[in-house]
Structures are given as C-alpha cells and as structure tokens.
Amino acid sequence: MKDLIIIGAGPAGLSAAIYGIRAGLDCLIIERYSPGGQVMNTDMVENYPGFVDPVGGWELMSRMEEQARRLGVEITSGDVVSVEKKSDAGSLVIGLAGGDPLEARTVIIATGASFRRLGVPGEAEFTGRGVSYCATCDGAFFKGREVVVVGGGDVALEEAHFLTRFASRVYLVHRRDEFRGAKILQDRVLADSKITTVMDTVVSSINGSQKVSGVLLKNRKTGDERELPVEGVFIFVGWDPNTGYLPAGLLNENREIIVDMNMNTKIPGLYAAGDIRSGSKRQIVMACADGATAALEAYNYLSSLQK
C-alpha cells in the first residue's frame, strides 16, 4: 500500500508529488492522459515566477514532470472512477476503470477542470471541423482565414492575441460590455489591429455544411441578428471541475471539492488541490502551492497516526 496516491499530473499533482517524495512518502501519481494538464494547451505563460521571459506551457509542464521523475515519483496511467474511505481510521481505495483497485494511506485529488462548451447548435457537429477549444493545437490550420473567439476571460483574451499569428482577422465575441480578463490582456487585445471586439453579443449557432462557414450572432441589448462568415470558432468560456467520479457529499453547489485552507476535505487523509477545489484562483502558481500544502498535510496526518 502506498503512503500517498495523487490523482492527476497537472501543476497541483506534480507539485504534491515533489513535496510528498521529498518528505519521505512513497508516492504514486495516476494520470488519465499524459502529464501536464490544461497548461499543455497554453501557448505562453508569462506570470509563473522565475521565468524572466514567457515560458511555453508545454515546456513548463515538461520541466515539472521531469523534476518529479528525477526525485523518484512514479507516474502510471489510469482512469479513476471512485475514491472511498474503507473506515474512519482506514486506508482509501481508488477504483480504476478496467483495473484492480489501488489502496493508499492518503490521497490527493488534483484532476483539475475541463473546458466548458457553449451548447449552441452546430458546436458538437463541427468540433474538429472548424470548432476548437485549443488555439495552440489548431491555430495554424487557420492561416490567412477569419475566425471567431468566444469568451471574455483571461483565456479568451490571451488566445485571441495568439491567433493573430495565423488568422487574417479575429472577431472576439463577448456576451457583456466589459471583459472579465486581466487589464494587461485587455489592453493588448484592444491595441491589436487584427482583433475586432464584438461586445454584448452571443453566438446563437455555428453554421456550415462539411465544415464551419459562419456563425449567427445576436446582440443581447438590441436583439439584432447577423451572420458572420468565418472558418474557425475558438471557444474559451471557462472550465468545469472534473469531479464526476466523486461522492456529492464532498462537493459544493459548483461541484468543486470543499476544502479548508490546508486542502483537507471532509474525509481524514483525503485532500484536494488546484482548479478542482473550492475557492481556487485557477492560477498555475496557486495550483502548485495547493499541491505542496496538501502533500505536507498528508505527511503530518501520517506522522500523527504513528504517535
């Protein structure tokens, strides 16, 4: 049985493993896809301390993974379907799809969040045929084309700017009259001659035959509708926590895991870290801090059991 199993190998999970193994705990990370998490889809990160120049999301996460592996952390692939406590003082049991359950004395849940969908007609049909949720992955397919970016948060603002490397024009469509994203990102977008902002507006449908040929826009204040001919639609309207496999009793109304300031859940020995937990600020540096806090807390908990 492991001292500590960490579910998820994004910034929170990898940081938890780095702190856990350095505290002498026998650690295993279970990851569904490949290590790195959401940040792997981010072109450049310019607010992670220690990097004077912006660092690529892929590079930052590869370095974290390499650091964890160098310290001896084991990373295995698996799809976790349940986490349960055997008894109050007992170990935690992790159910895996198509595999034997694993047991650990402590568990840190760090499975992050997944991008939210708009839920408009045409979105599902044209995903991969003009509709995308990742500018780093798909931006280059739109060289010299016109695209729409939907959203008004940090991600939409950053990715709209990134897409001007390829697209001839980026229409940034936001449902309100002010952006949610950081001021520095707003200023960058407003100063970019290849970006046209379309405020107070929603995308009502995504249209085309074989692939996207346009979107139907609706102004929320005037009710006016118009068709905008574009070949790409990039959707960045936030994230939902990946908590579908967890008991409702651990979650709040937004389906985030409820934790105290030391990342303790309601179950002794079970912790949550990063974008999946209540009150997360959804920043890489904070996910790392959460992971470190949870691992130190797991160490303290295990030490207290031995007394």
Q: Is 154 in the site for ligand NAP (CB under 6 A)?
A: yes
220 binds ligand NAP (CB under 6 A): no
Q: Catalytic annotation on 138? A: yes
DSSP state of 195: E
Spatial separation of the C-alpha atoms in residues 70 and 108, rounded to whole Å? 21
Question: Contact 262/270 with Cβ under 8 angstroms?
Answer: no
Task: Give the residue with the Cβ less far from ligand NAP, 47 or 168.
Answer: 47
Residues 84-123 that bind ligand NAP (CB under 6 A): 118
Of 25-33, 104-112, 225-233, 235-243, which part binds ligand NAP (CB under 6 A)?
Answer: 235-243
Q: How many residues does the chain have?
A: 307
The full DSSP string for 155-170 is HHHHHHHHHTTT-SEE
Footprint on residues 33-52 left by ligand NAP (CB under 6 A):
47
Residue 114: CB minimum distance to ligand NAP, A: 11
Given the rule CB under 6 A, which of 84-92, 147-155, 218-226, 249-257 is the region that contacts ligand NAP?
A: 147-155
Indicate which residue of 3, 27, 43, 138 is catalytic.
138
Query: Mask 5-24, x = binds ligand NAP (CB under 6 A)?
Result: --------------------
What is the closest distance, in whole angstroms, from the C-beta atom of residue 60 to ligand NAP in the complex? 11
For the bound state, the minimum distance from the C-beta of residue 34 to ligand NAP, rounded and expressed in Å, comes to: 20
Q: Which of 22, 180, 218, 255 binds ligand NAP (CB under 6 A)?
A: 180
Residue 216 in contact with residue 204, Cβ under 8 Å? yes
CB of 124 to ligand NAP, least distance (A): 15
- Please tell me which residue in 79, 134, 200, 240 is annotated as part of the active site: 134
Contact 132, 117 (CB under 8 A): no
Buried b / exposed e over 183-216, threshold 16 CB at 10 Å, is eebbebbeeeeebebbbebbbebbbbeeebebbb
112 burial level (CB within 10 Å; 0-12, 13-18, 19+): buried
Binders of ligand NAP in range 238-297 (CB under 6 A): 238-239, 282-283
Apex CA 243: angle with CA 239 and CA 246, to 5°?
A: 170
Of the residues 19, 142, 162, 236, which one makes contact with ligand NAP according to CB under 6 A = 236
43 is catalytic: no
Q: In what order do the strands lie in the sheet with 212-219?
A: 201-208, 212-219, 225-228
Indicate whether 237 belongs to the interface with ligand NAP (CB under 6 A). Answer: yes
Contact 149, 157 (CB under 8 A): no
For 231, the 3-state DSSP assignment is coil
Q: Is 137 a catalytic residue?
A: yes
Q: Interface residues with ligand NAP (CB under 6 A)?
A: 47, 118, 150-156, 158, 175-176, 180, 202, 236-239, 282-283
Question: What are the residue numbers of the active site?
Answer: 134, 137-138
